[in-house]
Structures are given as structure tokens and as C-alpha cells.
Amino acid sequence: MKNYFITGTDTEIGKTFATCALIHAITARGIKVAPMKPIAAGTINLNGSDINEDVAVLMSAAGNSFAISDVNPYCFREGIAPHIAARHEGRPIDIDVIRAAYKRLCSSSDMVLVEGAGGYSVPMSDTESMADIPKWLELDVILVVGMRIGCINHATLTADAIRTRGLKLAGWIANTPAAQMAAYEENLATLKRVIAAPLLGTIPRVPASYLISALDATRLAVKHLDVVSII
Ligand SMILES: Nc1ncnc2c1ncn2[C@@H]1O[C@H](COP(=O)(O)OP(=O)(O)O)[C@@H](O)[C@H]1O
Ligand SMILES: [Mg+2]
């Protein structure tokens, strides 16, 4: 079974949301999925501990069955660009730490879904970027496209950058994190033409009136995904 790196056209476009929906959809097929968010910036206080919100949501989508130190080896306090947060805390990111945590998750699950931070080329240091993670961990990539104006440009550049690094784009998801964009169907048709990879699903905005929690919303999104090609 393959493991995947989940990237997106930007920050706040639904990478975590789509990853949780993937976790639910794949888990429903009897496959044990481990989430990983190797680098996170920004914490909230949850029951007395500082934790990154994405990490908390991903962990609970996967039934809280993995060690947080493996799911999230690097958690920086400030919600800023990770390489700057790492510099402020004097804690440079070491890929060997990430690789060791990833291997532990691999040995305790059937599939690992690794969520990046921000967009595909966000720096990790002055010399390395988030895009090095799928390269180092030998992961195929899933691209979450946040359906809003500008997404065709972001999606095309990201898909090109993935292929330029010799990585495989295994599929993409069209997610609507906010109001439905104007000319949605035409934008979707254009994206299908320019992204040469399977569309795993189109997730509409789950209306706030249905939301009990962000996690419940991701459960509602499962019916919009087809995971057959990635499991
Ligand atoms: N399809 C959707 N329906 C409703 N809310 C969504 C949807 N996609 C994302 N969101 C919300 O938008 C915000 C940003 O999504 P998130 O997954 O955290 O983005 P990213 O991981 O790309 O930064 C979150 O509050 C999330 O719950
Ligand atoms: Mg996220």
C-alpha cells in the first residue's frame, strides 16, 4: 500500500479538511491510516496542552491511536512561516527526525497520509523546502485545490513543480472552503484539463448550520471522495 503527501494550492484551503475526509473514507475500507503533520506552526491550548490545531484534528480523525511525537515531530509556537518560526526557537528542522517518526508510523499502520504546511514550496530552512519531504520519504502527492479565484494558476504551478521534482501526482481534490466560486463548473472543467491526474472528488462547502465540529464536517465530506485509485 502506498503512502501520500498532501499538499495544497495555498494555506487555509482545506488540506487538513480533505486529509481528514480521506482518513475517514480509507478507514471505512478497513485500512488503518496514520496521519502525519511533520511541521506545524501555531498552537492552541487544548485541555491544558499546547498543540497545533491541524494536529489535534488529524489525530482525532485517526482515532487518537498514534503518538503525537510521531504525528508531529516539529511544532512551533508562532503561526508564521515554519523556517522563520524554527529560527526564532533555535530549533532547525532535521529530516532524519522526520524520517524516523515516519518509519514508526509506517510500522504501526497500513497507510500514512502526510500533510504539508502551507503551499508546496514553503521553505523549511534557507536551503530546503516542504517539497523535499515527499522526495525524502518517497511519497506520491495528492493536491488539494481550494476552489477560489486564482486557483487555476496555483494548481498548474504546483502540479508542474511536483512533476519537475520527479514526483508522481497521484490525484487531486477540488475543495470549496468558502462560498462557491463564480463559474465553478467552468473552472472545474479547466482544472480537469490542466491537471493530468485523477480527480478524487469535489467537496462542496459543508454549510455552517451542519457543523457540530470541524471533524464532523469532514465525515460529511466522505461521500464526495472516491479513494479506489489511491488504496
Ligand atoms: N469543504 C469545506 N466545508 C466547510 N468548511 C471547510 C471546508 N474545507 C475547509 N473548511 C474549513 O476551512 C478552514 C481551513 O481549512 P483547513 O483544512 O484547515 O485548510 P489548510 O489545511 O489548507 O490550511 C477550516 O476552518 C476548515 O474547517
Ligand atoms: Mg492544514
- The neighbour count for residue 3, using CB atoms within 10 Å, is 21
| Segment 108-130 mean pLDDT | 96
pLDDT digits (tens, 9 = 90+) for 162-172: 999 999 999 99
pLDDT of 211 over the 70 cut: no
Where in the sequence numbering do the catalytic residues fall? 37
- The Å distance, Cα 90 to ligand 1 centre, comes to 30
- The Å distance, Cα 16 to ligand 1 centre, comes to 7
| Whether residue 11 has its Cβ less than 6 Å from ligand 1 | yes
User: CA 22, CA 204: separation in Å to the nearest integer?
Assistant: 15
Residue 48: left if φ>0, alpha if ψ -120 to 50, beta else—which one?
left
pLDDT of 220 over the 90 cut: no
Grid cell digits, residue 126:
534557507
| Whether residue 15 has its Cβ less than 6 Å from ligand 1 | yes
User: CA 11, CA 117: separation in Å to the nearest integer?
Assistant: 7
User: What is the helix (H) or strand (E) element at residue 71, kind and residue range?
Assistant: helix 68-71
| Domain boundaries, given as residue ranges, for the chain | 4-230
User: CA 36, CA 6: separation in Å to the nearest integer?
Assistant: 10
Q: Do 6 and 144 form a contact (C-beta atoms < 8 A)?
A: yes
Options 3.40.50.360, 3.40.190.10, 1.40.20.10, 3.40.50.300; which CATH number does 4-230 get? 3.40.50.300
- pLDDT grade, residue 215 (50/70/90)? confident
